Amino acid sequence: MSIYLDNAATTPMDPSVFEAMKPYLLEHFGNPSSRHELGRKTRLAIENSRASIAEHLKALPEEIIFTSGGTEADNMALVSSVIYSKINHIITTPFEHHAVLHTLNGLKKTHDLKVSYIQHDSKGNLDPDHLNYLLKIHPKNLVSVMHGNNEIGNLNNIQWIGETCRIHGAWFHTDTVQTMAHYEYDLKQLHTHFLAASAHKFHGPKGIGFLYCRKGTELSPLIQGGGQERALRAGTENIAGIIGLARALEIGYSQMDKDRKYIQSLKDLMIHHLQNISPDVRFNGNSEVKEKSLYTVLSVNLPNTGIDWVSALDEQGIAVSGGSACSAGSNSHVLKALGVEMDRSTIRFSFSRFNTPEEIEVAARAFSSLLHTQAA
């Protein structure tokens, strides 16, 4: 039995997404920039997908720019803000994805940029007073805070952060890679200038995502070349990927409430089993707190028994992560920022609508067996 519990790293593609993509892989292959019929058909398909995405997010179609994924979208927003819009102070957190943190570190080396980090408590909850303070003492700010953390599952109140930025006249960028299609977004109400998303995190294809850029916000291209995406993102469009992204988002929105309840029940079941297995089991950040964490992510903290948990569970057909798949082979910057003891181990279980309660039961038994065998 193969059990996949690493959905925060990537999700299996929904079969109906693949069916929507297939004609654009085999039949409708025209270059969208071509003026003949094959090109016009694919151009129309792209623009229909853009309109569908915008409708779900309550945005304008021209505010959606297709990218290769969340990393490119984050880079595009941050690099454009610093280099072309002359933002000289960025406020962020030590918990952001490396697509943000590494980009900011690179920009600091080449530009007159100051980066400040919002203070937080031992669970990773951000200090709102400190954010207000940082916004007051600098005149030209961009705040970059993710909606949901990919390692520990903490949710940030981006509605409040956006409104705080509006009051102070600051720009706001949020990475929603882990939360898109899991939570509703009303971009007429959410005060954000940039928002990044990636299809493969919500049962769409890899290699496609988008950047939302609020109308009137200055944006310059990260990739130079042709005039695709209104000259904001050069390169022939990933037509099938765009079709798949739009279809995956449509499915996610259509069954969001049902999926949330179901996946939360899987997470609750895993928490119940783990707490009964050992009193030494803890959870990182707000991972076990329903109101404060992603219902798809559970970050488990336990004594270091010498077990390589990812490999040991993999041998039993169970796929999990030690933290973030993007940080494989290195210490987690998120856990370090939280102050998690380095003599303890972390396993990240992450769930999707394709998981079953039976799989959770099997995974919990395997975990228990490994832990108690090692203790014996």
Tell me which residues are annotated as active site.
Answer: 326
Q: How far is the C-alpha of 358 from the C-alpha of 347, rounded, in Å?
A: 20
Residue with tokens 């916000």: 217
- Contact yes or no for 358/288 (Cβ under 8 A): no
3-class state of residue 177 by DSSP: coil
- Contact yes or no for 260/295 (Cβ under 8 A): yes
Q: How far is the C-alpha of 261 from the C-alpha of 258, rounded, in Å?
A: 5
Radius of gyration of the chain (CA): 21
Chain centre distance of CA 213: 17
Q: Which residues contact 97 (CB under 8 A, 6 or more apart)?
A: 70, 71, 74, 146, 150, 175, 177, 324, 326
- Contact yes or no for 285/123 (Cβ under 8 A): yes
Cα distances (Å, whole numbers) of residue 308 to 104, 236, 247, 314, 367: 33, 43, 38, 10, 12
Nearest C-alpha neighbor of 47 from the set 211, 243, 182:
243
Q: Are strands 141-144 and 89-92 parallel, antiparallel or unpaired?
A: parallel
- Contact yes or no for 309/319 (Cβ under 8 A): no
